[in-house]
Amino acid sequence: MDKSLNYLKEILIQWQNSVLDQLPKILLAIIILLLFVFFAKVAKKITLNFYTKTIKAHSEIANFFSSVIYFFFILSGVFIALQLAGLEKLLTHVLAGAGIIGIIAGFAFKDVASNIFAGLLLKIQNPFTVDDWVEIDGNYGVVTQVGWITTKIKTVPGQEVFVPNQLVYSNTFTNYSTLKKRRIIFKTGVAYGDNLERVKAAALDEVYKIPELLKDEDVDFYFTEIGNSSYNFQLRFWIHFNNNKDYQKAMSDVIMRIKKRFEQENFSIAYPVTTVDFGIKGGVSLFDKKVNVDIGEK
């Protein structure tokens, strides 16, 4: 019984001595940790104020960088406090565990991390903003939200499409709202028998009557090829562009005007026809001129 009491007494004395030895280190570690917490808050506030006064845009980016600085100071304070308290072994185990967890998380969340990093680049570079008309990964519509992980687009049919930000930088995309104008490329053809000079003059005359036309931009007309049943051409011109309705209206106007004018000029908008050769070089289109066929008497 006396031996047990003596052993317990020795343990209490060792514990008391250990506490007395470690108490200053623990207090110093707590003070250091509190100082780093204070520095972290000050650094975060300075970063936000500096960003606001200099750039004055994209507050979410400022919050991101200020949060990174804040957690850097906090983690630094924790590591230094553990070392001062004599808990190096605990710190080593924590770092080893964090490394293993980081590797696992890296494989599990690599796509999420890629999308977040791409979202950060989008907010820094700012290639498009909300209400811009874009085409991303085959999706054409207006941007409604640029998030950290996805970009939300409302397509012309009315669906909301969420495009991962990683796809924005791994594929090409088009922003139709950047220039505030858009080019109409109208393609069709006329029959072999039509006068090409008159076709060109009539088409250009109708384009200049379109209200959406940007008159200070060039209007181009080119015959592009001799097709199987037509002379094909392209008519290209620029219009004011604020939304997709401007583009659709201009395309509709040019189609109706060209059709009406060609009917007045007796031009034929070409469609596939069959040419029958009656001995005339090159054949004769049944739609270009009358063909008299003598079948003889029975």
Q: Tell me the pLDDT tens digit for each residue of 236-256.
A: 999 999 999 999 999 999 999
Beta-bridged to residue 161, according to DSSP, are 153
Q: Of 120-129, 243-252, 281-290, where does mean pLDDT reach its minimum?
A: 281-290
Give me the pLDDT at residue 275, please.
Answer: 57
The SS3 call for residue 46 is: helix
- State the chain's mean pLDDT as an integer: 77
Give me the pLDDT at residue 72, please.
Answer: 75
Comparing 225 with 74, the larger pLDDT belongs to 225
Give me the pLDDT at residue 100, please.
Answer: 55
Kindly tell me the number of DSSP H helices and DSSP E strands found in the chain.
7, 10
DSSP E strand stretches across 147-219:
150-155, 160-164, 173-175, 181-190
The SS3 call for residue 220 is: strand
Give me the pLDDT at residue 122, please.
Answer: 80
pLDDT in tens, 5-42: 565 556 655 555 555 556 666 777 777 778 878 777 77
Give me the pLDDT at residue 6, please.
Answer: 60
Name the band, by pLDDT with cuts 50, 70 and 90, for residue 263: very high
Percent of the chain at pLDDT above 90? 35
